[in-house]
Amino acid sequence: MTSDQGPKPRVYQADFLTALFREPLDPAYAQAAEKRRDGPPPPRWRLLTRKGIALVVLVVIGFLFAVAYRQVARDAPEREKVRNGLITRINEQKENTSRLAAEAEGLQADVSMLRDLALQDPDQARELRQLEAATGVSKVTGDGLVVRLSDGPDAATNDKAQILDYDLQQLVNMLWYFGAEAISINGRRLTSVSAIRKGGGIYVGDFPVASPYEISAIGPPDLYDQFNKSLTVQIYRDLAQRPEHRFGLKITKRDDLVLPAALLPELRYAKVPGPSPSPTPSGGGK
């Protein structure tokens, strides 16, 4: 074995790793054994002292193991706690957000009602509501269609199976083209200022959306047929079937769609020019 082949002078090989794999034991052990065999045995008290020190070292090692184990065991729940805390906070914030959104919607309804009262002229009130619906700042309902786009099953590894902002843009543009009056993506209503863009995921306006994407559109009765027959949709259908893409595309006709109101940014720089042709009463134009 190892004891009888040990070379006399300790040789340091250049190829350290090979030596390490071949002979993992510290060569000093073999050397010490050899010395012991050759020379006279050391005095008994020295042997005993050495034994004692070795035992102390063993106690220290055991201590070290226990301490390290305790350390790891203590850190684990700590990490878990931090993680759970984060999850709780995320959920809280989500709830908070939806509560605030509901509140905003309620307030919006109040504002519209009060404004209608203030306006007095029912024609003007109706026109205003019509404009609001068209620009996206109020909730609308109507018949239309839902386009469901989803990343392919291997989207994580295959770029071509991922839905891009461009795809959503194309389909939304086609919907506008065929007369859609209100469109939302994953519950985010599109307005004249909401972009569909890429930013570490896809953003609709300022909100991130994720696959599956659901484009809901309210439009004329022939919207579904026109859209379905359009070249763009045919191309997408064809692409969705191909093995290298294989993303999900489903277009369904849907009645009584409800599209939420969008958050419109406050206008700070753009102003209505001159005296407007129809005099706006206080509160209406702001």
Q: Which is nearer to other proteins, 44 or 268 (CB)?
A: 44
How many Å apart are CA 111 and CA 281, to the nearest integer?
15
Region for 207 from its dihedrals, namely left if φ exceeds 0, alpha if ψ lies in -120 to 50, beta otherwise? beta
Q: What's the min distance (Å) between Cβ of 80 and other proteins?
A: 19
225 close to 143: Cβ distance less than 8 angstroms = no
167 close to 149: Cβ distance less than 8 angstroms = yes
Helices 165-177 and 231-241: crossing angle in degrees, nearest 10, is: 150
Q: Is 47 in the site for other proteins (CB under 8 A)?
A: yes
| Interaction residues for other proteins, span 55-114 (CB under 8 A) | 55-71
Q: What's the min distance (Å) between Cβ of 63 and other proteins?
A: 4
Number of Cβ atoms within 10 Å of the Cβ of 247: 24
Bridge partners, 166 (sequence order): none
Q: What's the min distance (Å) between Cβ of 64 and other proteins?
A: 5
Per-residue b or e along 136-169, where b marks 16 or more CB atoms closer than 10 Å to that residue's CB: bbbbbebebbbbebbbbeebeeeeebbbebebbe
Q: Which is nearer to other proteins, 24 or 243 (CB)?
A: 24
Q: Which is nearer to other proteins, 74 or 271 (CB)?
A: 74
Region binding other proteins by CB under 8 A among candidate stretches 49-57, 92-100, 160-168, 169-177: 49-57
Region binding other proteins by CB under 8 A among candidate stretches 53-61, 194-202, 208-216, 276-284: 53-61
Interface with other proteins: number of residues (CB under 8 A): 38
Can you tell me which of 5, 9, 11, 24 binds other proteins, judged by CB under 8 A?
24
Greatest Cα pair distance in the chain: 120
Q: Residues 209-228: x/- map of binding to other proteins (CB under 8 A)?
A: --------------------
Can you tell me which of 21, 256, 268, 269 binds other proteins, judged by CB under 8 A?
21
How many Å apart are CA 143 and CA 217, to the nearest integer?
8
Q: Which residues bind other proteins (CB under 8 A)?
A: 1-3, 17, 20-21, 23-26, 28-30, 32-33, 36, 47, 50-51, 53-71
